[in-house]
Amino acid sequence: MLKQRLREYFKFLKSLFKTNIRLLYGMWRLTKLPQPAITIFGSARVDSSSEIYQQARKMAKLLAAEEFSIITGGGPGIMDAANQGAIDHLKEKHLETFLQHKEIITAGIGLIRLNKEFKSPFVQEYMEMQHFFARKWLLVRYSVGFVVFPGGFGTLDELLEVITLVQCNRMAKVPIVLINRTYWAPFLQWVEKCTQYGGFIDKDDADIITVFDDIELAAKFIIEKCCTTKQSVLHKETDFKE
């Protein structure tokens, strides 16, 4: 029994060591990004010809023009659109000399064996984590705001993680913007009619998120909220559990 426990213990230590090494590596790569930075979440299954893809691309371009770096999960769909939007800004900024410039404003944090078939070609700094909790920690750690486009379970998981961190004062209160009022209407209704009405959250907790349909208004909202933040926001320690 003791041998089995020791075996499991050292097996865990080995896994923990590998995870910490990857985290340190990811943190080192992310420090290349100019601050402030915005993380953009959304579905990996959005086609490049769709309206929502173009909205994410436009959002990232507007934010990049205001000197925000863009962080995503590094995969297809909304992630690809956001990284492409940031690169669009660099191309317009540097014109013919784009290829000669080494300015880095996009980062993608992937997950091993997730979206392996597609890594956004517009990501300048790409890294992969082995565990979801490590990936989410990096997606949150260096961001001063979050934009969430429509998505599935993964997007909802990332959104609720950030909301919970702000609600529990584990992270500074930052702008969390949802795009597409129609899509998020059932979720907002659940927040109001179920969780808030049932007393499971405080009334002020619902104000953590803001919903927009207009991309330019959403970008303006984020810029105004972060206008005094030109350095990295130091979040409180965040405890993620996988």
Task: Give the range among 109-118, 137-146, 223-232 with minimum mean pLDDT.
Answer: 223-232
* More confident call, 59 vs 171: 59
Q: What is the pLDDT of residues 57-72, one digit of tens each?
A: 999 999 999 999 999 9
User: Taking residues 101-123, what's their average pLDDT?
Assistant: 82
Query: pLDDT tier at 238 (50, 70, 90 boundaries)?
Result: very low
Q: What is the pLDDT of residues 70-82, one digit of tens each?
A: 999 999 999 999 9
| Spatial separation of the C-alpha atoms in residues 168 and 201, rounded to whole Å | 11
- Asked if residue 54 has pLDDT above 90, the reply is yes
Confidence at residue 115, expressed as pLDDT on a 0 to 100 scale:
59
Q: Domain residues for 19?
A: 7-225
What token pair was written down for 104?
């880095």
H helix or E strand, kind and range, residue 128? strand 125-129
| Residue 160 located in a structural domain | yes
95: left (phi over 0), alpha (psi -120 to 50) or beta: left
Confidence at residue 22, expressed as pLDDT on a 0 to 100 scale:
87
Confidence at residue 228, expressed as pLDDT on a 0 to 100 scale:
54
Partners of residue 127 on adjacent β-strands: 109
Confidence at residue 210, expressed as pLDDT on a 0 to 100 scale:
95
| Residue 240 located in a structural domain | no
* CATH number, position 121: 3.40.50.450
User: Taking residues 74-97, what's their average pLDDT?
Assistant: 88
User: Percent of the chain at pLDDT above 70?
Assistant: 89
| Residue 96 located in a structural domain | yes
CA-nearest of 37, 198, 6, 157 to 106 is 37
| Residue 233 located in a structural domain | no
The amino acid sitting at 127 is M
* CB atoms inside a 10 Å sphere around CB 15: 12
| Spatial separation of the C-alpha atoms in residues 219 and 230, rounded to whole Å | 16
Phi and psi at residue 85, in whole multiples of 5°?
A: -60, -40
CA-nearest of 165, 206, 182, 33 to 103 is 33
Confidence at residue 89, expressed as pLDDT on a 0 to 100 scale:
93
User: Taking residues 116-126, what's their average pLDDT?
Assistant: 84
Q: 3-class SS at 34?
A: coil
CA-nearest of 116, 113, 152, 157 to 133 is 157
DSSP code per residue over 99-121? GG-----EEEEEETTBSTT---T
Helix and strand counts by DSSP (H, E) for the chain: 7, 7
| Residue 238 located in a structural domain | no
Confidence at residue 62, expressed as pLDDT on a 0 to 100 scale:
97
Q: Are 178 and 148 in contact (CB under 8 A)?
A: yes
- Asked if residue 236 has pLDDT above 80, the reply is no
| Residue 33 located in a structural domain | yes
| Residue 1 located in a structural domain | no
Q: What is the pLDDT of residues 27-37, one digit of tens each?
A: 998 988 998 99
The amino acid sitting at 183 is Y
Sign of CA pseudo-dihedral 152, 153, 156, 157 = negative
Query: pLDDT tier at 145 (50, 70, 90 boundaries)?
Result: very high
Give 147's DSSP letter.
E
- Asked if residue 152 has pLDDT above 60, the reply is yes
How many separate domains does the chain show? 1
| Residue 71 located in a structural domain | yes
Confidence at residue 6, expressed as pLDDT on a 0 to 100 scale:
84
User: Percent of the chain at pLDDT above 90?
Assistant: 55
Confidence at residue 95, expressed as pLDDT on a 0 to 100 scale:
66
